[in-house]
Structure 1
């Protein structure tokens, strides 16, 4: 069975890396592409490859969905990903979300919409296999070490904070870790905001977001016990290649889901 894919964000960092791979896979078909800046171009030219795909880039997802398709892959921007996802769901498409910036309330709304329509949505803060292992190892450590905080590094131009990787990690850690021994932010004097933001249920996990030149994406979970510390860190390179394999896995598996599933680790085993 061939899976027809619409690539929203075809001119983006990951979108450009995904297009030639989708074209090369026998079980995948590029059915549509979206980019306001490249509207009217062939998807191959928009993605920076020499191959002509026969797919014309649409200025909006609504236009792209006029063509039959199965899965929408969204690597766009935080201010449009929710609307794109809800639109795709309303049209009966499964969705793979690689864009960060969504919160717990957004995901709850998406889950309800997807279940009502009987489609699947897979959202991951990071589709890299090694970033997924960061989360898995951190969750293992949290069962033994209650004090954990996250440092989230990204470029100075990244518009959302924390990153999807850090937010997803914090929310999952908050579900499994025991109560921290550090003072809650409400009891901190001076400038309490310097302690970062609590992300996740209950007291949450403190996240500190750095936005500076020279960083691409890095996420660091720091665990502390008396007289010892453990740091688990993932650093992304300058290529989008690490995100391709995980996204392809999600494209192939999302149609077997009903409702929202968060995290690539849900598909790894």
Structure 2
């Protein structure tokens, strides 16, 4: 039996290539498509996939009137929470590719998912190389006491920091708290110049043309500096494989699980 999939943000930079990958797979079936544009049209006509007659719906609730096992969300920071809760209400598991959810949002979603006996998987970044950066950064944090994170994204990204940087900060905080020689609260001048405090880690966000998505963590100790950096040069390619892995795994989860490392068997 194939896994029935609906995609919110199906005509977006990641959603379109992801829909094509679902259609080409042997174990997944695309049954729902949600987008603000092209509502009512057949998805195949919009994406250039002959024979794909799934209609594009305006809302998740409309799309999930057709039975669905997993909703994938690649939409906007201000919409994703409502989409996730609507999917859980309809009995679907969820894979979250959108950023912008706070820890409080995830806690609320976790409660609802467990009540519904459903799994919700979220990753700040579905690229395997980004997962490797997170793993290497945790290793470095165990040895080097001071670090900060910088993320770089395209100019139209409205949420900051990115989900990737939030996730990295959370993981590093689990290793230990970074040491800052001058506490951020003691900054003289403009406190905001020290970035945002995400947990115990300082994160700085850059939003400029010319970037897709990049992030780096900088470690410093004495006369040495270590920089670990990840660059995405394509808007969709790095994320499709990791997202499909999550779709295939999420039905075995209960509640919220965050971070692709957990699905790769390397969550420690």
TM-score (norm 1): 0.96
Q: CA deviation at 1:51?
A: 2.0
Within 5 Å, give how 1:49-64 maps onto structure 2. Answer: 49-64=48-63
- Matching residue of 1:33: 33
Alignment of 1:55-204 (within 5 A): 55-200=54-199, 204=200
Structure 1 segment 239-254 matched on structure 2, within 5 A: 239-254=235-250
User: How far off its partner does 1:54 sit?
Assistant: 1.5
* Partners of 1:78 and 1:250 in 2: CA distance: 20
Q: Please state how far the C-alpha of 1:179 moved relative to its aligned partner.
A: 4.2
Structure 1, unmatched stretches of 5+, are none
CA contact (8 A) 1:145 1:177 kept: no
Contact 2:177–2:201 (Cα < 8 Å) also in 1: no
Classify the secondary structure of the residue corresponding to 1:223.
strand
1:170-209 Cα offsets, whole Å, 9 max, x none, are: 1111121244133221111111110001102xxx100000
Aligned equivalent of 2:211: 215
SS at match of 1:173: helix
Distance in 2 (alpha carbons) for counterparts of 1:170 and 1:179: 10
Q: Is the 8 A contact 2:178 2:201 kept in 1?
A: no
In 2, distance between residues paired with 1:12 and 1:219?
Answer: 22
Q: Is the CA contact 2:147–2:178 (under 8 Å) kept in the aligned structure 1? A: no
Structure 2 unaligned blocks of 5 or more: none
Question: Does the 8 Å CA contact 1:97/1:123 hold for their aligned counterparts?
Answer: yes
Provide the TM-score with structure 2 as the length reference: 0.97
Match of 1:255 in 2: 251
Could you say which residue in structure 1 is the equivalent of 2:264?
Answer: 268
- Residue 13 of structure 1 aligns to a residue whose secondary structure is coil
Partner of 1:234: 230
Tell me the C-alpha RMSD between the 2 structures.
1.0
Which has the higher mean CA deviation after the structures are superposed, 123-132 or 36-45? 36-45
8 Å CA contact retained: 1:95, 1:122: yes
**2: CA distance, partners of 1:99 / 1:179:** 28
Separation in 1, partners of 2:228, 2:152 = 14
For the residues of structure 1 that align with 2:7 and 2:98, how far apart are their CA atoms?
Answer: 12
How many aligned positions are there? Answer: 265
